[in-house]
Structure 1
């Protein structure tokens, strides 16, 4: 049977992590923007200061003579200013009109206004040099005795600046990403660890028997989930009381009905004997069939009440595992099969017991397991074919197997899921007068489950006929002795 998809809300983990994720992403974007601005500002300041220092150093080497300003600098110093493995650079010394006096005449010169401002301290500017964006610094100096002024201009490309900015950005962004991954991993682990007690409670409920209504333990449940578990425990208590009340009602009703039904049956039998003793007048010829039908109906009603009592008693009697014991299944099956064997001989059917020569031990309750076998055999005799086989075997190291099979018509695949439902007797059961109650298989399943076993049914096309299989826990070695 295909289970419908479970409809539920979002998980606690997603509800906690989703806001944190958005906050972290916002913080990461802010960190990236801040890293970009910080790296850009830091790189610009550092390299601008280097350009200004270079311009100041060159300006300090300017000397004044009769022929005009001279730039006194060694060849090695000039090469350091103009050659770099990563950046293209250059320098030039110009007069107040912008004419080159020394250095590379192709170096871009800032406008006169900026050269005027650079008399007090070096100034920086942006320009183009050989089709490449460069950053430059200009520093102007004037003669102490002559009314003349020159400007030192130093430029370099932005390659090292860009590389430094990328390194600074990565040094901020990569740790933020790593820290975010570690943080979310730790948060996810913490959430999972915090929710583990709830999963333990769910596992405990899944392992419980269908009739175990004990309250759930609160010892390891998180404080926030205690009201939920308390409510579930209250619901379990209410369900246990409701089911106990229902069982008590069924048992009491069946018990109350048994007495009047037994009285009706006794009166019907007495009336039949009295009419038989009297003369058989023609006007009384229709009475014997009516009395036979009345006797059959009271017998079926008495059987139904007995089955109801068995169902109600089995639900309560097997609640305590201490009543079970290790027992040999072979003699139990022989005893349960004797009444069915007499019915088979009367109806022209055969009943075969297939059992090993030695004992087959199982942990069960002898009275109620016998009730299961009686119901299965009654079902086989009533609805099965002419050959019935009861088989018992050891099944592996820890199980015992019982099978009741017949060569009858069996049931279809559509009907098989309804076999163990109360009062289900197949299609058009209202037209059959076989004396069945529809409770025998329900009682058998209830008892087997209470004994900690499993019961299943097979029919066509898997098996030619009908086969019921019971698996029980094998009895321990100490108990077998």
Structure 2
């Protein structure tokens, strides 16, 4: 009846169902134990008291009277039978009205009330050698009515206690065993009843991030159907909102391409006009402004292209038709070659380390290249002079692609923001590196939609910056 781990939620439904039953059963078991004890004690005392009274009455019947006084006419065998018991200690005595012992054990306790009574022996409690005993006393009067003796029979309470314990055990144990079996059956029934809800939870847990299909209601209990229906409605609403956001981003980026392209062309044309007219008065101080305008238009063009790439990847990779196992080495070579030449012109070395044998992994022929392009472009802009692209096959299927550089890396306190859209590090506004802050976001989005993972390491864990792409088979 334990709750699931975590904070911010109430007890489990299983606990809510079984805990009240458990408390009710425990209270009932305690009352049953108390009642069984009282019943067993009453039954045991009644039976043993009747036996004591019968023994006292039987001994009283053996009292005879003679000139010498009262005599207890019992054989030796009868006396041994009365006083010998393997479990209890029994004793008897015959006393006169003054309390003198005429026969039997002199240590037998004598009750204070020894009045004449022929109807029924009287019961009493006392101590015998420091041990509690139960006794019966029966007064016998002589035929001449001039003398009275009392027969006292006592026994310890050992057999009574044993009988009470046995009776309690015989009453409580079946109830305990039956209760445990009942709770095991109830727990099994509750678990079985909650299994459809756990299956729904497992179905949600294994779904991809952009899988908004409605949850099945086939085996869901009737009480949980409204909840699942509401969740399905929320999934549908989220899907509609995300689709609207994607459409807006794609439409906005597409609409911006034409005017931005026109600004870029006009800036280039104006720069060429000023360059050809060297005698133009004051042309020299316009050229830096035009150069800045051209660079800004190129960065804006790149940003729009990245936004379109992000929107298209989200749309294209929702379908798994083109996600199939294939050799990814040719894809990586094709994506790396243009950046290798560009890196050489900038004084950077971009090296591809790939095995001769095919490396099979689930990938998209276009979008995996987009991932590599973005990671290499990020290393080219922010890394050191040495950039390494390495690909290795996993022994149990899939592949691992890493991009490493020997640059300054990213501070540990900023690693959590590395894949945030438009984040380019501290004081990015002072750097004119042409970056948009979307490359790593797009790369992670594509990798996750391909069913893989994208992780990053930097100093002090790695000497520089390292991105690790893991693809499944």
Using the size of structure 1 for normalisation, the TM-score is 0.88
Please say if 1:285 is aligned against 2:284. Answer: yes
Distance 1:51 1:455, change over 3 A: same
- In structure 1, the residue matched to 2:249 is 250
The alpha-carbon deviation at position 305 of structure 1 amounts to 0.7
Counterpart-to-counterpart distance in 1, 2:249 and 2:91: 107
Deviations 1:406-438 (A, max 9, x none): 222222222223222111111110001111101
Q: What is the aligned partner in structure 2 of residue 301 from structure 1? A: 300
Q: Distance in 1 between matches of 2:349 and 2:229?
A: 57
- Superposition pairs of residues 431-470 of structure 1, within 5 angstroms: 431-470=430-469
Q: Is the Cα–Cα contact under 8 Å of residues 362 and 472 in structure 1 kept in the other structure?
A: yes
**How far apart in 2 are the matches of 1:459 and 1:153?**
98
Structure 1 residue aligned with 2:27: 26
2:90 aligns with 89
Count of residue pairs the alignment pairs up? 469
Aligned equivalents of 1:147, 1:454: Cα separation in 2: 113
State the Cα deviation string for residues 364-388 of structure 1 (Å, max 9, x = none): 1111112112212222222222222
Aligned-residue offset at 1:56: 2.2
Offset at residue 102 of structure 1 (A) = 4.3
Assess if the C-alpha contact under 8 Å between 1:122 and 1:138 holds in 2.
Answer: yes
Of the structure 1 ranges 447-456 and 328-337, higher mean CA displacement relative to structure 2 is found in 328-337
Equivalent residues in 2 for 1:211-226 (5 A)?
211-226=210-225
Change (3 A) 1:104 1:373: closer
The answer to whether structure 1 residue 339 and structure 2 residue 341 are counterparts is no
Per-residue deviation at 1:135?
1.9
Whether 2:36 is the aligned partner of 1:35: answer yes
CA distance in 2, matches of 1:306, 1:22: 66
Q: Distance in 2 between matches of 1:164 and 1:446?
A: 77
- State whether residues 115 and 138 of structure 1, in contact with CA within 8 Å, keep that contact through their aligned partners in structure 2: no
1:115 to 1:87, Cα distance in 2 relative to 1, 3 A: farther
Where does 1:26-425 land on structure 2 (aligned, <5 Å)? 26-63=27-64, 70-94=71-95, 101-104=102-105, 107-111=108-112, 115-116=115-116, 118-141=117-140, 150-278=149-277, 280-425=279-424
Bigger shift: 285-294 or 439-448?
285-294
- Give the direction of change, closer, same or farther, for the CA distance of 1:145–1:407 in structure 2 (3 Å limit): closer
User: Using a 3 Å threshold, how does the CA distance of structure 1 residues 16 and 69 change in structure 2: closer, same or farther?
Assistant: same
Moved more, 9-18 or 319-328: 9-18
| Residue aligned with 2:457, SS | strand
Report if aligned partners of 2:328, 2:363 keep a CA contact under 8 Å in 1.
no
Any idea what the Cα deviations from partners look like across 1:4-45, whole Å, max 9, x if unmatched?
Answer: 963222223333333333323322322232222122211111
User: d(CA) in 1 for partners of 2:458 and 2:405?
Assistant: 10
Q: Is the 8 A contact 1:454 1:472 kept in 2?
A: yes
Provide the rounded CA distance (Å) in 2 between the counterparts of 1:357 and 1:131.
98
2-side partners of 1:246 and 1:352: how far apart?
A: 38
Change (3 A) 1:104 1:278: closer
Q: Is the 8 A contact 2:274 2:280 kept in 1?
A: no
- Supply the distance in 1 between the matched residues of 2:98 and 2:400 (Cα, whole angstroms): 114
CA positional deviation for 1:65: 5.7
5+ unaligned residues in a row in structure 2: which ranges?
none
Q: Are residues 174 and 327 of structure 1, via their aligned partners in 2, closer, same or farther at CA, if it must alter by over 3 Å?
A: closer
- CA-to-partner distance for each residue in 1:261-297, whole Å, 9 max, x for gaps? 1122222223333334445333222122211211111
> Cα 1:153–1:400, aligned 2, differ >3 Å: closer, same or farther?
closer
Structure 2 match to 1:479: none
Unaligned runs of 5+ in 1: 475-481
Contact kept? 1:62, 1:70, Cα under 8 Å: yes
**How does the TM-score come out when normalised to structure 2?**
0.89
**Residues 75/456 of structure 1: CA separation in 2 closer, same or farther (3 Å cut):** same
Distance 2:380 2:101 in 1: 124
What secondary structure sits across from 1:273 in the alignment?
helix
What is the distance in 2 between the residues matched to 1:130 and 1:353? 101
